Each structure stands twice: as structure tokens, then as C-alpha cells.
Chains A and B, each alone.
Chain A
Amino acid sequence: MEKRHKDAMENMEDIAAQFYEQLKKGTIPEMKISTRSKNNIVFDKKTGVWKYGSSKSTRSAKKLSGARMILRTLYMLDFITDMIESEKSSTLREMYYISEGWEKAKFGDQSESDRLAEDMEIVTDCLREDFKLRPEEDGARLIGDITVKERTRKGDIRKINCRDDVGDSGYTIPYNVEEDKVNFDDIGVDFVIAIETGGMFDRLVENGFDESSNSLLVHLKGQPARSTRRVIKRLNEEEGLPVVVFLDGDPWSFRIFASVAYGAINSAHLSDFLATPTAEYVGITASDILNYDLPTDKLSKTDRNALKQELEDPRFNTRFWHDEIETMLEINKKAEQQALAKYGLDFVTDVYLPEKLSELGLL
């Protein structure tokens, strides 16, 4: 058994012991956990990312929901320790289906069990990989001149060049991108472009932008999976590649950027591990909508509310973001990346990106 798994088991047994002792003393069982809300994330000067602050929430068996959470916690840690002992692993979804048999401790839907798995990371100070839990979906794909060394199922190391050895859909990021599985060999690019939509990713591939700009294209697939964010982080930290993020121009894309660069509210305990604080937002910005006179949609009520919430979000508390958010509210419009096609299919690679990237000193 690897040490990381052994540590995880011990940490989890401590939690069970804590409930047991509380009951034995005649006190109502409870557990404390960092409050997972935007009011409890603070900027860590040392690492440049946002993490949970000192505010804690208490789950007490005094309340029905709290009692249920404590019971679920016990079932989940029992399940995980069993799994580690028997050298197995499972997906989050498999664990959710297994929990169907936990009677009073079963979950309403998978998001509840996923969230509790994250809670377990927070209280044990471990990663879910230490628990042998993995997400069911893969990371996204990347295309560009880098060579990765991936350990295959058979155990040998395969070298893959992400431009020459792959098809049009690129290299698929596996769920585990730690050093035991993935390492970088040859880096032929100058920087990384992370792209929100598949449509735009394919446009840049078709236009050969990875080669013409000497960059690595990473498809985020909406809100990026942990492994995608982890790969970006490692490329940035280990290989010193600058990272830019190219998204739609709407409040939800702003949030995607925040989770890539600053750390996500839901997984702020992993910010050190996942966030790339030097990542730059290229667009689409509210100013782009005006400057390039892009086709737009009207903001919906939920869009406006999301923007207003972002004004309260400490991660967006900078001059740049407040200007952008307020402008967007003022013009009451949003635009997709692909709105750039208004000026032709090559506009994004011939004009828009070169302009934006030179501003950042990358071209």
C-alpha cells in the first residue's frame, strides 16, 4: 500500500473515532468543516491563489440534515477504507450507486455524494486520488508541439507528441495527471491557450494556429475538470509556459476563468494544486463587444444576477474585472467566442488573437 493511501486511511479513522468519543461522553456528535462559500475564500499572498479562510461550519446531529451527513460521512469513509484495503478504486458515480445500499445514509443524487467526497478531502487534508476515487469523465484534449510521456495500462512509458502523433481531436488528458502517470518531455511551444468551446478549439486547429503562433491549444470543455486544470498548472509551473484563457464573453465564462486562475469556490482547498495565478484572460471582454462591434445576445435575468454576484466575489475585486463586469451590465449584452466569425472564419486567427496576444507580449 502506498503511503498516500495509508495516510488517508488513518486520517479517516480519526474522524470516526472523534464521533465515537463524542457519543461516549454524552455530547451530540458534530463535525467542523471549512465553510465552502464565496464569503470564506481569502487570498493567499504566498501562492497567489484563493483558498478557504478560517470560517467553519458545524454539522451537528441535533438537526436531521446534520445527523444524516454524519452518518453518510461514516459510511463513505468506511467504504473508502475498505476499498484501499482491498486495492480497488472506483469512480464517483460508482460510489454513488454503491451508496444506494446505505439505507438511511443514501444520497438524493450524485452531486450530494460528489460534494461529500470533496468535504472528505477538506477534513482529511487528502486528495480524492488518495481515496482511490476518480471522476468518470476524462479531461479535455490538447493539440500543440509538446511531447508527453504517459505510463500506459501495461506499465510501459509511451512518448506522444501532441501535434504529430495525434489525430484532429488531439491528445486526451487522462484523469490522473500526476507524475506517476504523466510527465512532459519535449516542449516546443512558447505558451498555452485554454479555450472554452469545442467549436473555437476546432477553428484554431483548422487554421493551424498552434503552429503559426507556436502555442499549445487546450480545450476546457466548459467548466474544466480537475485534471485539465492540473495539466495547465503543471505546464505553467514546471515548464514555465505562460497561460492565456480564451472564453465566451458572459458571466459564466468569467467564473471559468476564476477557477483556472484563482481557484474555485467549491474546491478552494485544492487551489494550491489546481490554480494558475499568472493566467491571463484574453477575451471575449465587454470591451471587445464594443471595440469589435460583435453580434450579441441580451443578458438574461440570471446573467445579470450572476454578474452582480461577481461584483461581490472577492476574486473579482480588481479594477479590470469591475470595469468589465460593470460595462457588461451597462450594455446589457453578451457575446460568444464564435461571434468573431462575423468578420470571416480567419478573423480570429488573423486579427483578433494576434492583436490580443501582442498586447500581452506573447506574439
Chain B
Amino acid sequence: MDSIAEKLAEKQKEISIGEFFERNKHILGFDSLTKSLVTAVKEGVDNALDACEEADILPEIIVEIEEVDDKEYMVAVEDNGPGIVKRKVPDVFAKLLYGSRFHDIRQSRGQQGIGVSAVVMYGQLSTGKGTMVRSKVKEKDYAVEMEITMDTKKNKADIVSEEVVLWDEKEHGTRFEVTLKGLLRSGDHSVFEYLKNTAIVNPHARIVFNCDGDTTVFKRATDQLPPPTVSVKPHIEGIELGTFVKMAKESDRRKATSFLVNEFSRISNRTAKEILGEAGVDDSKKPGDLSLGECKKILSATDKVKIMAPETDCLSPIRSMLIKKGLKNVLKGYRPEFYAPPTTREPCVYSGNPFQVEVGLVYGGDLPSEGSVRVLRFANRVPLLYKKSGCATTTAIKNMDWRIYGLDQRGGTGMPSGPVIILVHVASTRVPFTSEAKEAIADIPEVVEEIERGLRECARHMRTHLNKEKRRKKVSKKFMIVKDLLPMIAEKSALIVGKEPPPLDKVMTKIMGVVYVENTHQWNGKHCEVNIDVSNYTPRKRKLKVYMEKPYPENIALEPNIEPEHDGEYLEWQLDTLDPSAKAEIRFKFDGGIQKEDMQGVDVYIEGVKGTMLIGAEPLPDDWDVDMAEIEKE
């Protein structure tokens, strides 16, 4: 009689990768027909963007979707990346866990190397069809075209056909076409939404989407490529025991100290000795000889030794200006009334992994004011469309009391509502996803806290905007009183009593009670003409001083009607005393070297009146002089 072990042994056999795939569809992003289509596009586009950026090429990406049969779609993704050399094509497209970034610690879109080969496999499993790949490298004047299928037992590619073709319209690039079962939907979880959001955080990419004959082009908003990300050594606080053991075994360092110093970041010779001392491990032991127990001790010793946080210059945030451009580029159809200056937080660390949070916020215009705010989530520049409720971004938003920033929120917790789109980007060498499907960011306290800080910064800007808006409305009401109603009251009452209408200056200033500043500029060829009008609608005489930030420090006012001082960072005008109801006009130009962007957010400050009585400009900050003095000292 066979032993139980023997019986079991009969059942124990290698499972094929195909079976593995079938069972784990959900972690690979193929658990529904709609999602499969999005995943296929996503993997292709992520690869394309990564490839272009690594080769320092401005990405031009074409995505095509065509329904070829009932619930069967041809999906093509084409890029202008460096191309793939012929012999590597089968591995890149049809070998799971193959990739250039798997062992690399750096911020990148794809990480596990499952990506595009999973798409090839899904296509094959769902329709029986292979994938067409065409690629051209710069050095060759022809492209290679292959049809590939996957040998799911051996985890390798079978080349069905292979030929050399001309691809004259492309200097270099890659295109693949895969046929798969799917379902084309619109809405929050659609291919369109994915590409739109991709365009927001990748303003350097031009993306053409050709969907069953309809073409959408997401234009490029900047020619500036994101700076290349760099690989870094791992930080010991973020390492798992298994990886540590493996690194030790494979290390060719001769001593444990040099192993720690050279293969991990931020460990000096002294720190290494301190760690080993704390762990009770001999300094000079060969790393290959470290036992499992010793490795464990070393890792737990790192808790007691102060180690510098990992370097964070390996991260590549999008940066404020480009987030704003990306948002404007894609959202301009909504004509939002306010873009909060996007926030790029300083890099931080969670369990040894550097990460960085960026937040953007858009308010008003034609955005729907009913219902919850919309959230655009990104990890390493990749949009996250699924599992919103389980995401750290959602947790951070729900934690905050948005009512103090001017949004509706029931009970001061949960999703706020209002005409708002919030963008959250988390960049990291290792984004803490909740699962391998990479659909949501885990609620790591450090990460949630950073997101919340970023949100608060943007929310404060929104509140300031809303308050200004409120005050502006209040003042425009007062303008209506003094400009329209009061003269009519005077005229009508004079008519009835049969006298001349009385002068109204005094009453007008009593009603307004503000100094009103209008700061406008217009472009005349390359010159920027600036007008600053200061009206004293207060019942008192006012001696006012006007300050204007120079768009960049060397700017001076040309042809000013009132000569300013311009020694410092600001242009300064001392106005003559303004009587009630009187107005002063400042007129000048900036020269041709100035860009439109330079004029954005250039503020005017007024000295000589309380902030509460000032509209259209900022009061001079109290610490103004202190700031100036400090700058001079340095």
C-alpha cells in the first residue's frame, strides 16, 4: 500500500504559469472584462512612457481600440521610444517576471515585470490569438515584426512568424497589437479616464487615443522631460529578512562591516560597527557566513541605532508648475475659477523607503457643485482608477474637516462635497500598494499624514480664494449702492422736494469704507503694460504707499507716470495724499524679456490702511521690514 506521502506526491506537480494566471487574474488586473481592457492599455502606456523617459525622448503615444467581434477587441499601443532589439522582443513581451527594473530601487511606473507579458498571455488565453509586435531601433532603417505566443508551461515565447518591414514614418519606436476579450465602457473606470489622468501627470507626453474611429488627442503641455530617476542602494530599515539574507549570501565583500557600508545606503563605517556591536555579530565575519539568526539580529539592531534617513534625490516629483499645466491642459473645458498652487511636499521616509507627496486642487467653474469632490489618484505618475475607498488618499481626505476650508461635509468627516477636483500623487521607490494589483495605496500612517499636510496646504489656498471672492462680492454690492442706487436716491428725493441733488462723496466713502485697488496688465507686443488704480473710498484722507513684486528681481518699471523706487525686490511708490473719493493711477511697462508666466501671482501691497479696509491688494505684512533686514545681513 502506498504511503499517504506517496499518494500526495502523485498530486503534487508543477502548476503551469497559465493556471497560475487563471487563478490570480485579480492581482494582475484582469478580473472583469471592462478592467481587462483598461489594464491592457495601462501596461502598454506605462512601458511606453518609461521607455521614452529612459531614452530622453518626448513621448508620442498612440492607443487604438477597435471592436473586432462581440466583446473582443484589438488593442494597440505604439510609442516613439528607443525600440527593442530583435533578440529581446520575445522576452519582453512573452516572459513573465522579465524586466529591467525588477532588481532596481528607484521610482518607476512598472516594477514587477509582469506588466505587458500578462497582457499578451491574457489575450492568448481569452481569444487564442497571438500578439503582433513591431519595433524599430534608431540604428536600423527597417523594423522587425513578429507574431508571438506564449508557452505557458515553460514561461517562454514562441515566435509564430517573423519578418522585416519598412516603417518609414517612425525613426524608432515600438507597437504591439493584442486581441483580447473585454468590454468598452465610459465613466470613472474607463480607458478614456485612464488616459486623461495619465495626460494630467505626464504633461510632457502627447497621447493620441483612437477608439472605434473617434480620435482624442491629449496635447503636450510642456517640452520638459521629467529628470531621470536614479537607482539607489536599499536602506536597511526597509529591507525584508529574506532579501537581506540573499544579499549577504551573494555579496563578495569580505567583512560584515564593508557589506553593510557598501551595499546599503546611509551606513558609515561607524554606524556599521555600532549595528554589528548591538547585534553581537563579529565585524570581520564574511557576509556569506552570516547565519539566519545573525541576520535577524542585525536587522533588529537597526532599530536601536540611529541611521540617517535614506537619500531622497532618487525621487522625481512632477513639481508644482507642471502639475498646474497638466491640470489646466486637461481640465480647461470645465473653466475652473481657481487652481490652488500645487504642493510638492519634502521627501519623507516610511520603513526605509523614500516617498514624496504632491497635491493639487481645482475649484469651481463648470465643475459639478453637487455631490462628492472628485479625486484623481496617482502613484509614480500612474493613475489609480480602482479601490478608491481603500486608498490612503481617501483616508486622508476623509480625516480632514473640510468645512473650515469652505466645503460642505456632513459632520466634518467623510467625503466633502463641492465643485472640486483633488489630485494626489505619491512618488516612491516603493509605493506601498495594498495589493499586488497596485490599485490603491496602503494606509501607512506616515504616508496618510503627508497626504493630509499636502491637502491642507492646497485647502488653505482654496479658503483664501473663497474668502477673497466673498469680500469681492461684498464690495461689488457696495459698488452697486454707491454707483447706481445712491445717485438715484439723491435725484429722486431732490426732485420730490424740488431742490438740486446734494453732493454724495461723503456718504459714498462712508458706505464703502475701503481702499480699492485694481491691478491689471495687458500685453502689447513684447511689452507688458501695467495699470494700478488706487481709490480711496474711506471718509479720511490717506497717505498710501504701493509695493509691487518684481516679476523677477532685475525688472524695473519703464516709462512710469510716477517714478518708483526700485532698489530692492519691490517697486515702491509713495503716493500723494488721497482725499476721500480720490483715485491715483500708476502706469508703466515691463520690457520684452518678460514671459506671461512671470506675471502670474505678482502681488500688489499697500501700506497705510488696515487689511480689513483694503480690497484688491494685500496689506503690507507686519514682518516685512524684519524679512528685508535678514536678507541684507546674509
List chain A positions with a Cβ less than 8 A from chain B. Answer: 13, 16-17, 19-20, 23-24, 26-29, 61-64, 67-68, 70-71, 74-75, 77-78, 81, 103-105
Give chain B residues whose Cβ lies under 8 Å from the Cβ of A16: 492-493, 496-497
- CA–CA, A62 and B511, complex, Å: 5
Candidates B489, B496, B499; contact of A61 at CB < 8 Å: B489
19 contacts between A and B (CB under 8 A): A17-B493, A17-B496, A19-B489, A20-B490, A20-B496, A23-B493, A23-B504, A24-B502, A26-B506, A26-B510, A61-B485, A61-B486, A63-B481, A64-B477, A68-B485, A70-B489, A75-B492, A78-B496, A104-B484
- CB of A104 within 8 A of CB of B493, answer no
Q: How far is the CA of A16 from the CA of B490 in the complex (A)?
A: 10
Q: Which residues on the B side are within 8 Å of A81 (C-beta)?
A: 496
A28 and B507: CB pair below 8 A?
yes
Taking A64-B481, A67-B481 as contacts, is the C-beta distance between A29 and B489 under 8 angstroms? yes
Cβ of B510: which chain A residues have Cβ within 8 Å of it?
Answer: 26-28, 62
* CA gap between A126 and B504 in the complex, in Å: 32
Contacts of B478 in A (CB 8 A): 64
Query: B480 an interface residue at 8 Å Cβ cutoff?
Result: yes
Q: Do B496 and A77 have beta carbons less than 8 Å apart?
A: yes
Contact across chains for B489 and A71 when beta carbons are under 8 A apart: yes
> Is there an interface contact between B497 and A26, defined as CB atoms closer than 8 Å?
no
Q: Output the least CB separation between B577 and chain A (Å).
A: 20
Cross-chain contact of A71 among B485, B496, B497, B504 (Cβ < 8 A):
B485
Inside 8 A of B504's CB, which chain A residues have their CB? 23
Min Cβ gap A99→B in Å is 13
Give complex CA distance A67, B502 in Å: 17
Among B488, B496, B507, B511, the residue within 8 A (CB) of A104 is B488
Q: How far is the CA of A142 from the CA of B537 in the complex (A)?
A: 62
- Name the A residues within 8 Å of B496 (CB-CB): 13, 16-17, 20, 74, 77-78, 81
Q: Is B558 an interface residue (CB 8 A)?
A: no
Q: Which residues of chain B are near A74, meaning CB under 8 Å? A: 489, 492-493, 496
Give the interface centre of B484, B494, B496, B502 by most chain A CB atoms within 10 Å. B496
B498-542: CB near A (< 8 Å → 1, else 0) gives: 010010101100110000000000000000000000000000000
Q: How far is the CA of A78 from the CA of B495 in the complex (A)?
A: 9
Closest Cβ of chain A: how far from B413's Cβ, in Å?
Answer: 28
A27 to B511, CA, bound (A): 10
Q: Which residues of B contact A104 (CB under 8 A)?
A: 484-485, 488
Alpha-carbon gap, A63 to B485, bound state (A):
11
Shortest CB-to-CB span from A75 to chain B, Å, is: 7
User: Which chain B residue shows the least CB distance to A64?
Assistant: B477
- Alpha-carbon distance between A68 and B480 when the two chains are bound, in angstroms: 10
A71 CA to B481 CA in the complex, in Å? 10
When A and B form their complex, what is the total count of cross-chain residue pairs whose Cβ atoms lie within 8 Å? 76
| Cβ 8 A contact of B490, one of A23, A28, A105 | A23
Instruction: Report chain B residues within 8 Å CB of A17.
Output: 493, 496-497
Closest to A70 in B: B489
A79 to B489, CA, bound (A): 15
Cβ B494 vs Cβ A28 within 8 A? no
CA distance A27 to B481 in the complex (A): 14
Q: Which residues of B contact A68 (CB under 8 A)?
A: 485
In the complex, which residues 439-482 of chain B have their Cβ closer than 8 Å to any Cβ of chain A? 477-478, 480-481
Measured in the bound complex, the distance between the Cα atoms of B142 and A154 in whole Å is 109
- Could you tell me the distance in whole angstroms from the C-beta of B491 to the nearest C-beta in chain A? 9
Contacts of A75 in B (CB 8 A): 492
**B489 adjacent to A67 (CB under 8 Å):** yes
The CA of A137 and the CA of B493, in the complex, are separated in Å by 33
B489 touches A23 (CB 8 A): yes
B506 nearest CB neighbor, chain A only: A26
Instruction: Give the distance in Å from the alpha carbon of A105 to the alpha carbon of B504 in the complex.
Output: 19
- Measured in the bound complex, the distance between the Cα atoms of B494 and A24 in whole Å is 10
Using an 8 Å CB-CB cutoff, how does the interface string of B171-183 with A read, 1 for contact, 0 for none? Answer: 0000000000000
Closest-CB distance, A68 to chain B (whole angstroms): 6
Residues of chain A within 8 A of B486, CB atoms compared? 61, 67
Q: A16-B497, A23-B493, A70-B489 are in contact. List 18 more A-B contacts (CB 8 A).
A: A13-B496, A19-B493, A20-B493, A23-B504, A23-B507, A26-B510, A27-B510, A28-B507, A28-B510, A28-B511, A61-B486, A64-B478, A64-B480, A74-B492, A74-B496, A78-B496, A104-B484, A104-B485
Which residue on chain A has the smallest CB distance to residue B494? A20
Q: Which residues of B contact A61 (CB under 8 A)?
A: 481, 485-486, 489, 507, 511
* Alpha-carbon separation in the docked complex, A75 to B499 (Å): 17
Residues of B within 8 Å of A24, CB to CB, are: 502
Q: Shortest Cβ distance from B316 into chain A, in angstroms?
A: 52
Q: Closest approach, in angstroms, between the C-beta of B325 and any C-beta of chain A?
A: 40
CB distance from B510 to the nearest CB of A (A): 6
What's the least CB distance linking A112 to chain B, in Å? 16
Given contacts A70-B489, A78-B496, contact A20 B502 (CB under 8 A): yes
Contact digits for B310-354, partner A, Cβ 8 Å, 1 yes 0 no: 000000000000000000000000000000000000000000000
**Distance from A41 Cβ to chain B, minimum over Cβ atoms (Å):** 31
Closest to B484 in A: A104
Interface centre among A27, A74, A103 (most CB of B within 10 A): A74
CB nearest neighbor in A for B485: A67
Given A23-B504, A23-B507: A13 in contact with B489 (beta carbons within 8 A): no
Q: Which of B493, B502, B506 has the most CB of A within 10 A?
A: B493
